[in-house]
Structure formats: structure tokens, C-alpha cells
Amino acid sequence: MNNIIDGIKISTEIRKDIKQIINETKITPALAVIQVGDNKASSIYIKNKKKACEEVGIRFEHIKFNDTISEELVINEIKRLNNDISINGILVQLPLPLGFDEGKIINTISPVKDVDGLTYQNVGNLVLENDCLVPCTPLGVMELLKAYNVRLSGKNVCLVGRSNLVGKPLIQLLLRNDATLSICHSKSLDIKNHTKQADVLIVAAGHPNLITKDMVKDGVVIIDVGINKEGNLLRGDVDFDGVSKKASLITPVPGGVGPMTVACLLKNVVKAYQIQN
């Protein structure tokens, strides 16, 4: 199928560029990842981040706490990393165990080291269209659209999902690119009415096979951000087999947006280094 958006290929190109920048400019970026507790999925994500960092020449520090640690000690560790000039990026692996104040912990991170783009200052700057560190998955979505020359200006773009991690930052990035935007979510009464109009459909709902072929028009561009485990299989939010027959471009799951998230994290670490130096 020649309508597949290849996230592995594009992310590999981004990683190559980052490695080249690091080698040629002799910079020494470093990322610290804080993990609280033993969430299995989190451990896998951290392993992938570590491997990607090492491949391109970013120093990686993994700081792991038991879930019995106090919130105060986690905050103190973030403050220590804020003051450590050898660390350029700080990331708290989410979700945190129950009882931790996610907002308070994230907002302890210095905005110039906030490579997840989740501090209130970075969120505000994104809304105001100031230069800032942007959340990695939304950034990855935009990089994919750019790589495949998908024009957004004046196009009908439908976004399904409004999470703080993906949906809300994407709203800002799409508006910045002059898209005409409709947003659907769990309380929307007639999603199909909106998805059917879309020239570009981005789905980040966390609901397997939510979008079926009767809900899209011919020639639509589809970005499927969903990752849902069903047994040993990963499925997106889009019924790929049906919808791909109508789409002019579509991301697979896995191999679409996923690899872009890690590549854009590396981009953010290098950008954070450059801001700080």
C-alpha cells in the first residue's frame, strides 16, 4: 500500500539529523528521567528512551524511586536537577502512583528543562504562539504531516480527543497552521457528522476501532494516535483495514505516531540544551 505514512522512516531521519548535530557541534546534551513506582508500561517506555538517547549521543540518567517515597523528596530531586547545569532535560514518567499531585510535581520542573512541554509556562507559551518546548506526541504528529507535505491551511481538520497530553496541545499547533478545526470528545453527540467532513482526521481517543470506514470521506488523511492493547496485539483508534481503503494517507499502529514521540523527545532535549547555552 503506497498510502502508508511511515513513522519509522521519518523518525529514523530525525534521529540521524540529531546525531549529526551532536557530533558536528560537539554538544553534550543530557536527559534525566524520574520514575516513581514499578509501572510495567512506564519501564518499557523508559528503556526505549534510554536506547534512543544512547544511539544519538544524549547522556541518559534514570532516577527510580519506590512508590512509598514522599512527594516532597521527589520535588527535592527535581529541584536538584533544575540546578544541575549538566542536565538539560527533566522528564517525570507518567502516570504517577495514586496520592501524588501530578500538577505540582510537573510544575516544579524548570520550563527550560521541561522536555515534555507540560509545565504551565510552556502550555501558556504554546497558546500564545511563543517559542517553547512542545509535548512530544503532538510535535510528532505535526512532523509527520510536514514530512508528507499535508497542507493544513484552510483545510477541515477534525480532532477526536482532548487530553492534556495530546489533544489540547494539538489544537494550538493546528490553529497555528491555519487549520479550520472541529474537536470531538466523549460527550460529542454525533462524531460521524464531523469526521465525515474532515480533510484531515486526527484520532487520539484511546478507544480501539472507534473510527470506521463509513465515518470518513474518500481521500482523507488520517493520523491515528491511539495505542490500545488487545491480547498481544496493538490496535489504533481507527479500523485500519476498512478505513485505509478510503484514505489518501494513513498512519499504521504500530509504526506510525509511536516512533515519532521518542524522536521528538530527542529533538526537545537538544533544543533545551541550546536554550540553556
- The answer to whether 93 is a known catalytic residue is yes
Catalytic residue among 114, 116, 199, 237: 116
Q: Which residues contact 177 (CB under 8 A, 6 or more apart)?
A: 142, 152, 153
- How is residue 109 written as a grid cell? 520542573
Catalytic residue among 49, 168, 267, 271: 49
* Measured CA angle at 63 (ends 58, 69), to 5 deg: 160
CB within 8 Å of 54: residues ≥ 6 apart = 60
SS3 109: coil
Q: Where are the alpha helices (DSSP H) in the chain?
A: 7-25, 40-56, 71-83, 102-106, 120-127, 136-147, 167-176, 191-195, 240-243, 258-276
Residue 12 and residue 148: Cα distance in Å, rounded?
15
Catalytic residue from among 93, 113, 199, 271 = 93
Concerning whether 114 is annotated as a catalytic residue, the answer is no
If we measure between CA atoms, which residue out of 77, 67, 79 comes closest to residue 34? Answer: 77
State the cell numbers at 47: 528503556
Residues annotated catalytic, as ranges? 49, 93, 116
